């Protein structure tokens, strides 16, 4: 096993990366090696699909499979080694079909099909032991000794960025929004990785291309979410439980939440959101369900205590799952790409077992004291008051905007984001998105000219909304986004955040402060490139960073 | 006060303080840590762990629960051991087997009693609704419940044969012993609707989910109950790993649960089941001998080592452990639960 894809990867003075029997996330060496092989076989699919696409032939099923397969390998998604043995066999079948498609398309076009090697020709073993014996062919660091850590790190940036793109595109795809441009970009990146690239330039170009693809993926997901459930509106959400039977829905997937709301109609069961499902309360078609009563708990890293205390079934619809504790393992359900050996998986959107579990489990015996937060400031809600915002900026009532957003995590250094948001001066606005907001979203930020000072824009993928708002404001002020009084204070943990970061870089957004630590796969030389070309800065001291941001604006 | 640190099979570190006058089981319970145990009298071996460092004094116990060899190798019984120094222990069970709140006691009613071959019954109970627990049957396959004989304080432990469920059903397969008090009740007095107090789930005989090895189950008589529970859960979860079941009885007429095993073979394509009858019968075409005999032959023909799960009478456990070890299966890849007459 070698894996350094997430922020919490093992770091010592000499090296970084999880390489023992188990990673910091709880993924064991077997699962990690099988994930590497799955991605390798998917690269082979990409080699054929890309060539087929240039000849006008596509295989939508294979494209969709790649999105799903990649999503299973994100941090804290699927820990079930047996599942990866199956997925690898399926990947090989998709690859063989993609090969046939390409060869037929080439013949039809009167061309001789290329004979592809590498991932395209890799024949995975049928069983776990056989596959594990092949793991070195797919290992992340296989070329480190000959090519050095810079190339391997940049390949990893492309691979992990691609994982984020695939995850967002999968979320959009299950709600019926697909983009040919995204599939083309995914295939292109797979094909590049399969070619075992050795040059920094093309890899950096690919990373930026994936940043653009991820913008499309987030746009598609925005269209999927708003198209299915309406445009988010500012909404007050209860953050404490009420008496009655209960289901907790965690992860990110609004389609699964919707299916659960349908399945619990008139059943006397209350549905609670957890973690990144919180923004669901702001979507008109979801908030219309009276049994969607509130949010329970905080960000993903606290789930072992929160799930244990929750008196009903829990559904984990996508990342971020951590090792289920015995006290709630039996009432935990996974859905979509998520998996854990020994935890029940919902295969086909049929949540009737979850309903049964909710009715059988005790639920909450009494109401807790009411606490609320206000959410739902997506692009439409913010742009709806753009005139007020612009006037307030021009009048000096709003001096600066801070976007404090991204992933949360358990590392002590993440207190920086709490400090930053809570110490931002009263004449600044704090925009937030992702689950990092749980560090400060119950803090009373007050208002500026009737506008709340804290605007919760939604999930991590609603970075799309933030980018749209920033672009519109820049347009209104007649400046570029980088000239706006706006600073981005980004916390990352996993590969969706890596993709969002690539999007910001691809769009030329500077002034990004990134933490709590920089990715372990970025070598000092690669960090220098990002600092020089894109102005990325590591986070420092919160108060000093606030001052520095404000003085830049001045 | 002495310090005890216990490392579980899945790597969790459990620490508690112990007075030299308390058994380790009681010391842990005083800290709201409920370690796996059944008889609490040194008789069953459920609470056996390995002492890596430190000194204990060990009270009287059955040689079946802790052999002299095991004891010489450092194994102790938590219900019989008192600390004489700080202790480092390793346990053959997961953290999941440890309770951190008192074991639930719930009311249930008898909903079915039917024969399970000659000499055993299938007992089905239904939980009553409960404000703290609802009506769900929550446990880890392989675990057992303590049932209280109606109108008495006599309890007996039986493994569940079904899987966790939301309608509150508990299914047991119970061998009828001529002298057993619970057996006497089941044979002649029990009727539908009888109230029975259920204390559980308890026990640490559960599948090691962290292992990717094939699972081979060796069962004697109603020792097949926890195996059926584990296999049914594997079927529910679509677990495609290789699994084998060696299920043995003494005489042909004692065979039972064959329909369940057939269903399992359908839903688990990589499951092979070997039915073993000890006393040969003219019209029996299956394996004649004990499940340990069948296992020995299979292990001899296998190069990779499976995880071995064995449940049944003490002689079967002992034979299975001995032959598995000699076939090269590691000590910590053999999981056992023995039962005694009730």
As a CATH number, domain B215-338 is 3.40.50.80
A297: three-class secondary structure by DSSP: coil
Chain A residues with CB under 8 Å of B140 CB are: 326, 329-330
Distance between CA atoms of residues A333 and A361, nearest Å: 14
| CATH-assigned architecture of domain B105-202 | Beta Barrel (2.40)
Cβ A42 vs Cβ A89: under 8 Å: no
Of A82, A356, A365, the CB nearest to B131: A365
Give the C-alpha distances (Å, rounded to integers) separating A319 from A4, A339, A354. 17, 10, 19
pLDDT at A260: 98
Q: Smallest Cα–Cα separation from B161: which of B106, B104, B217?
A: B217
Of B132, B133, B212, the CB nearest to A30: B212
How many CB pairs lie under 8 A apart between chains A and B?
A: 64
CATH class held by domain A235-360:
alpha beta
d(CA B118, nearest CA chain A) in Å? 34
Strand order in the sheet with B334-338: B287-288, B271-277, B243-249, B215-220, B307-312, B334-338
CATH class held by domain B2-97:
alpha beta
Chain A residues with CB under 8 Å of B100 CB are: 327
The residues of chain B that CATH labels 2.40.30.10 are 105-202
The pair of structure tokens assigned to A228 is 């299915």
Q: Output b/e per residue, B128-154; b: 16+ Cβ within 10 A.
A: eebeebbbbbbbbbbbbbbbbbeeeee
Cβ B91 vs Cβ B223: under 8 Å: no
Q: Report H helices in A175-199.
A: 180-194
Is-same-fold flag (A235-360; A376-553)?
yes
d(CA A266, nearest CA chain B) in Å? 19
Concatenated DSSP letters of A418-461: HHHHHHS-TTEEEEE-SGGGGGTTTS---EETTEESEEE--SGG
Task: Look up tokens 């920094």; give the residue.
Answer: A200
Q: What pTM, to 2 d.p., does this model score?
A: 0.89
d(CA A363, nearest CA chain B) in Å? 8
Chain A residues with CB under 8 Å of B91 CB are: none
Q: Is the Cβ pair B209, A362 closer than 8 Å?
A: no
* Angle in degrees, 0-180, between the axes of helices A463-477 and A495-506, rounded to the nearest 10: 20
Cβ B146 vs Cβ B129: under 8 Å: no
Of A311, A326, A356, the CB nearest to B166: A356
Chain B residues with CB under 8 Å of A34 CB are: none
The answer on pLDDT for B341 being more than 70 is no
pLDDT at A554: 41
Reported as type and span, the H/E element at residue A294 is strand A292-295
Instruction: Give the residue on A whose Cα is nearest the Cα of B240.
Output: A82
A333: three-class secondary structure by DSSP: strand
Give the C-alpha distances (Å, rounded to integers) separating B294 from A326, B224, B278, B319, B320. 34, 15, 11, 12, 10
Distance between CA atoms of residues A495 and A521, nearest Å: 12
Q: What is the mean pLDDT of chain B?
A: 93
Chain A residues with CB under 8 Å of B304 CB are: 129
Q: Output b/e per residue, A219-231; b: 16+ Cβ within 10 A.
A: bbbbbbbbebbeb
pLDDT in tens, B194-212: 999 999 998 889 999 889 9
pLDDT at B10: 84
Instruction: Give the residue on B whose Cα is nearest the Cα of A354.
Output: B166
The residues of chain B that CATH labels 3.10.20.30 are 2-97
Kindly state the percentage of chain B with pLDDT values over 90: 77
Domain A376-553, CATH number (from 3.20.20.150, 3.40.50.2030, 3.10.100.10, 3.40.50.300): 3.40.50.2030
The pair of structure tokens assigned to A357 is 């579990």
Domain boundaries, chain A: 1-142, 235-360, 376-553
Distance between CA atoms of residues A459 and A470, nearest Å: 17
d(CA B12, nearest CA chain A) in Å? 11
Residues of B with CB under 8 A from a CB of A: 94-98, 100, 130-136, 138-140, 164, 166-168, 207, 209-210, 212, 233, 236-241, 304
Reported as type and span, the H/E element at residue A552 is helix A542-553
**CA atoms in the 13 A half-sphere facing the CB of B138:** 27
The answer on pLDDT for B46 being more than 90 is no
Q: Is the Cβ pair B138, A341 closer than 8 Å?
A: no
Distance between CA atoms of residues A122 and A42, nearest Å: 10
ipTM comes to: 0.83
In eight-state DSSP terms, residue A299 is S
Q: Is the Cβ pair A82, B139 closer than 8 Å?
A: no
Cβ A203 vs Cβ A254: under 8 Å: no
pLDDT at B69: 86
Of A86, A128, A357, the CB nearest to B136: A357
Reported as type and span, the H/E element at residue A488 is strand A486-491
Of B130, B136, B241, the CB nearest to A82: B241
Of B98, B237, B304, the CB nearest to A344: B237
Give the C-alpha distances (Å, rounded to integers) separating A22 from A26, A294, B332. 6, 36, 19
pLDDT at B40: 81
HEC-encoded secondary structure of chain B: CEEEEEECCCCCEEEEEECCCCEHHHHHHHCCCECCCCCCCCCCCCCEEEEEECCEEECCCCCCCCCHHHHHCCEEECCCEEECCCEEEECCCCHHHCECCCCCEEEEEEEEEEECCCCEEEEEEEECCECCCECCECCCCCCEEEEECCCCCCEEEEEECCCCECCCEEEEEEECCCCCHHHHHHHHHCCCCCEEEEEEEECCCCCCCCCCCCEEEEEEHHHHHHHHHHHHHHHHCCCCCCEEEEEEECCHHHCCCHHHHHHHHHHCCCEEEEEEECCCCCCCCCEECCHHHHHHHHHHCCCCCCEEEEEECHHHHHHHHHHHHHCCCCHHHEEEEECCCC
Distance between CA atoms of residues A408 and A493, nearest Å: 7
pLDDT band (50, 70, 90) for residue B340: low
Instruction: Give the residue on B whose Cα is nearest the Cα of A312.
Output: B134
Q: Please state, as a whole number, how many other Cβ atoms lie within 10 Å of the Cβ of residue A122.
A: 18
Q: Is the Cβ pair B241, A360 closer than 8 Å?
A: no
Cβ A251 vs Cβ A319: under 8 Å: yes
The answer on pLDDT for B342 being more than 70 is no
Distance between CA atoms of residues A325 and A114, nearest Å: 51
Q: Is the Cβ pair A129, B164 closer than 8 Å?
A: no
pLDDT in tens, B58-100: 998 888 788 888 899 999 999 999 999 999 999 988 887 888 8
| CATH-assigned architecture of domain A1-142 | Up-down Bundle (1.20)
pLDDT < 70 regions, chain A: 553-554
d(CA B234, nearest CA chain A) in Å? 8
Instruction: Give the residue on A whose Cα is nearest the Cα of B133.
Output: A362
Concatenated DSSP letters of A222-279: HHHHHHHH-----EEEE-S--SBEEEEEESS-HHHHHHHHHHTTTTTEEEEE-GGGGG
Cβ A398 vs Cβ A382: under 8 Å: no
């Amino acid at each position: 096993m070698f894996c350094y894809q997430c922020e919490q990867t093992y770091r010592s003075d000499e090296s970084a990366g999880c390489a023992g029997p188990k990673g910091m996330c709880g993924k064991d060496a077997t699962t990690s090696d099988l994930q590497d092989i799955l991605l390798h076989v998917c690269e082979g699919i990409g080699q054929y699909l890309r060539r087929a696409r240039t000849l006008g032939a596509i295989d939508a099923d294979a494209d969709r499979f790649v999105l799903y397969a990649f999503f299973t390998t994100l941090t804290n998604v699927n820990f079930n080694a047996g599942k990866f043995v199956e997925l690898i066999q399926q990947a090989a079948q998709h690859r063989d079909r993609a090969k046939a498609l390409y060869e037929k398309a080439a013949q039809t076009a009167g061309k001789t099909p290329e004979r592809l090697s590498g991932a395209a020709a890799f024949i995975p073993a049928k069983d776990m032991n056989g596959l594990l014996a092949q793991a070195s062919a797919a290992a992340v660091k296989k070329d480190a000794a000959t090519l050095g850590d810079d190339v391997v790190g940049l390949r990893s940036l492309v691979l992990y960025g691609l994982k984020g793109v695939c995850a967002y595109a999968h979320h959009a795809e299950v709600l019926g929004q697909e983009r040919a441009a995204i599939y083309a970009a995914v295939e292109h990146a797979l094909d590049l990785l399969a070619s075992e690239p050795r040059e920094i330039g093309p890899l950096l170009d690919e990373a930026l291309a994936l940043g653009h693809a991820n913008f499309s993926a987030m746009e598609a997901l925005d269209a999927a979410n708003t198209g299915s459930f309406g445009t988010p509106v500012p909404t007050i959400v209860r953050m404490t439980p009420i008496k009655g039977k209960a289901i907790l829905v965690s992860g990110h997937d609004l389609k699964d939440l919707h299916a659960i709301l349908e399945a619990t109609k008139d059943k006397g069961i209350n549905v609670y959101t957890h973690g990144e499902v919180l923004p669901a309360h702001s979507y008109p078609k979801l908030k219309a369900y009276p049994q969607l009563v509130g949010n329970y708990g905080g960000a993903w890293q606290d789930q072992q205590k929160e799930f244990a205390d929750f008196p009903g079934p829990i559904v984990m619809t996508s990342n971020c799952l951590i090792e289920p504790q015995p006290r709630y393992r039996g009432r935990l359900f996974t859905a979509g790409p998520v998996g854990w050996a020994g935890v029940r998986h919902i295969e086909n959107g049929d949540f009737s077992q979850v309903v049964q579990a909710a009715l059988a489990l005790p639920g909450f015996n009494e109401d807790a004291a009411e606490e609320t937060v206000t959410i739902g400031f997506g692009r439409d809600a913010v742009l709806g008051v753009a005139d007020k915002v612009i006037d307030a900026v021009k009048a000096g009532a709003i001096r600066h905007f801070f976007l404090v957003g991204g992933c949360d995590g358990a590392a002590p250094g993440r207190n920086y984001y709490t400090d930053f948001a809570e110490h931002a001066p009263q004449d600044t606005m704090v925009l937030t998105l992702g689950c990092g907001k749980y560090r400060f979203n119950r803090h009373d930020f007050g208002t500026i000219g009737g506008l709340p000072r804290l605007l919760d824009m939604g999930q991590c993928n609603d970075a799309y909304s933030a980018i749209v708002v920033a672009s519109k404001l820049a347009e209104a002020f007649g400046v570029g986004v980088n000239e706006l009084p706006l600073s981005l204070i980004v916390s990352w943990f996993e590969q969706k955040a890596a993709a969002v970061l690539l999007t910001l870089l691809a769009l030329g957004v500077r002034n990004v402060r990134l933490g709590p630590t920089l990715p372990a796969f970025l070598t000092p030389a690669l960090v220098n490139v990002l600092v020089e070309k894109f102005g990325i800065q590591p986070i420092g001291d919160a108060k000093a960073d606030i001052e520095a941001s404000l003085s830049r604006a001045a | 006060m002495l310090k005890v640190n216990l490392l579980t099979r899945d790597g969790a570190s459990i620490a508690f303080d112990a007075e030299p006058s308390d058994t380790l089981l009681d010391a842990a319970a005083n800290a709201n840590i409920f370690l796996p145990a059944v008889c609490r009298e040194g008789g069953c071996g459920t609470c056996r762990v390995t002492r890596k460092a430190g000194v204990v004094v060990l009270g009287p116990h059955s040689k079946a629960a802790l052999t002299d060899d095991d004891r010489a190798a450092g194994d102790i019984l938590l219900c019989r051991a008192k600390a004489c120094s700080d202790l480092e222990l390793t346990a053959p069970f997961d953290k999941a087997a440890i309770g951190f709140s008192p074991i639930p006691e719930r009311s249930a009613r008898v909903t079915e009693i039917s024969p399970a071959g000659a000499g055993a019954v299938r007992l089905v109970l239904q939980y009553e609704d409960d404000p703290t627990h609802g009506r769900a049957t929550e446990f880890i396959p392989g675990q057992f419940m303590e049932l209280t004989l109606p109108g008495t304080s006599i309890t007996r432990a039986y493994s569940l044969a079904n899987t966790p469920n939301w309608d509150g059903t508990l299914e047991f397969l119970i061998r009828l012993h001529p002298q057993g008090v619970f057996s006497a009740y089941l044979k002649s007095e029990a009727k539908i609707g009888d109230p029975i107090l259920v204390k559980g789930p308890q026990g640490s005989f559960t599948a090691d989910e962290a292992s990717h090895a094939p699972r081979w189950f060796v069962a004697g008589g109603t020792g097949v109950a926890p195996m059926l529970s584990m296999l049914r859960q594997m079927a529910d979860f679509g677990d495609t790993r290789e699994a084998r079941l060696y299920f043995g009885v003494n005489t042909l007429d004692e065979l039972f649960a064959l329909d369940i095993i057939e269903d399992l073979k359908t839903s688990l394509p990589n499951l092979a089941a070997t039915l073993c009858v000890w006393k040969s019968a003219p019209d029996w075409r299956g394996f004649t001998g004990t499940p340990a005999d069948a296992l020995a032959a299979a292990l001899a023909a296998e190069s990779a080592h499976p995880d071995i799960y064995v449940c049944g009478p003490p002689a079967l456990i002992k034979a299975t452990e001995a032959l598995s070890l000699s076939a090269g299966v590691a000590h910590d890849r053999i999981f056992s639960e023995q039962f005694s007459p009730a």
